[in-house]
Amino acid sequence: MIFTQLILAHLLGDFILQPNSWVADKENRKLKSAYLYFHVLIHTVLSFIFLWDLKLWWVAVLVGITHFIIDACKLSFQNIQTKKTWFFIDQALHVAVIGGVSLYFSEFNFEFLKDQEFLKILMAALFLTSPASIFIKLLLSSWTPVTEEENNLQTDSLSSAGKYIGILERLLVFAFIVVNHWEGVGFMVAAKSVFRFSDLAQAKQRKLTEYVLIGTLLSFGIAVLAGILIK
């Protein structure tokens, strides 16, 4: 598939064959950096090699030109505050170009949107992200402990880390159930217990420990129930 071939070329060109020194030089010198043009040339050559078809020479050239335009825009507009955002925008645009080429050759269709099994799994996965977090937060709202130790613990933790940990653990539990590997759920529970409750034991707050335990069990329970319903 052209999509797979071009994605392989992209991964090699954008990550494996691009040293950090090139990235730093491009960020400092912008469009004046010679490494920008070397980088684009490497992408073009890699695309041609992976396609390995003289009739598709224009695809490799198109990938190279669009890669230069996207990278030039990123280098021109990004700063220290927006660097992370521009990285994801940059990667999304590169993949979109490759996807557009694949669509041109009719490699993709949208028949999967009519697949009921796929839609059910997608629905459950989406529910287990922010919607489930809101449900759990509301269920525990009357028990939220507010203590000096808790405030110190929150100060020492990453912003919104608990929310994203919960989302990731629910999605992983759901994935384990869907692929019939329930032992993975046990591994997740054990790993969460080791890393989370050891910190809570040091805090010496029974209310906070019970609060987190209830929240964890709710989180795992919702993910397990969603997996069972989908199965």
**Residues 38-46, mean pLDDT to the nearest whole number:** 97
What share of the chain has pLDDT > 90, as a percent? 68
**Residues 22-32, mean pLDDT to the nearest whole number:** 95
Is the distance from CB of 189 to CB of 121 less than 8 angstroms?
no
Q: What pLDDT does 180 receive?
A: 93
Q: Do 67 and 124 fall into the same domain?
A: no
Is the distance from CB of 223 to CB of 170 less than 8 angstroms?
yes
Instruction: Convert the pLDDT of each residue in 92-146 to its tens digit.
Output: 999 999 999 999 998 887 787 888 999 999 999 999 999 999 999 998 888 776 5
Model confidence, pTM: 0.78
Q: Do 65 and 94 fall into the same domain?
A: yes
Instruction: Convert the pLDDT of each residue in 139-197 to its tens digit.
Output: 888 877 654 444 444 445 666 788 898 999 999 999 999 999 999 998 888 887 777 66
Q: Do 50 and 72 fall into the same domain?
A: yes
Q: Across all residues in the chain, what is the average pLDDT? A: 88
Token pair recorded at residue 208: 């906070």
Token pair recorded at residue 45: 């050559």
Q: What's the CA gap between 71 and 80, in Å, rounded?
A: 16
Distance from the Cα of residue 157 to its chain's centroid: 21
Look at the chain and report how many structural domains it folds into.
Answer: 2
Q: Do 123 and 216 fall into the same domain?
A: yes
| Helical segments of 52-182, H only | 57-77, 83-104, 116-127, 130-139, 148-155, 161-178
CA angle 29, 33, 39 (to 5 degrees): 130
| Residue 9 CA: distances (Å) to CA of 25, 66, 179 | 22, 14, 30
Domain span holding position 17:
2-105
Q: Do 118 and 217 fall into the same domain?
A: yes
Q: Do 62 and 120 fall into the same domain?
A: no
Q: What pLDDT does 230 receive?
A: 93
Q: Do 76 and 121 fall into the same domain?
A: no
Q: What's the CA gap between 171 and 127, in Å, rounded?
A: 10
Q: Do 81 and 184 fall into the same domain?
A: no
Q: What pLDDT does 95 receive?
A: 97
Helix axes 57-77, 83-104, angle to 10 degrees: 160
Q: Do 33 and 96 fall into the same domain?
A: yes
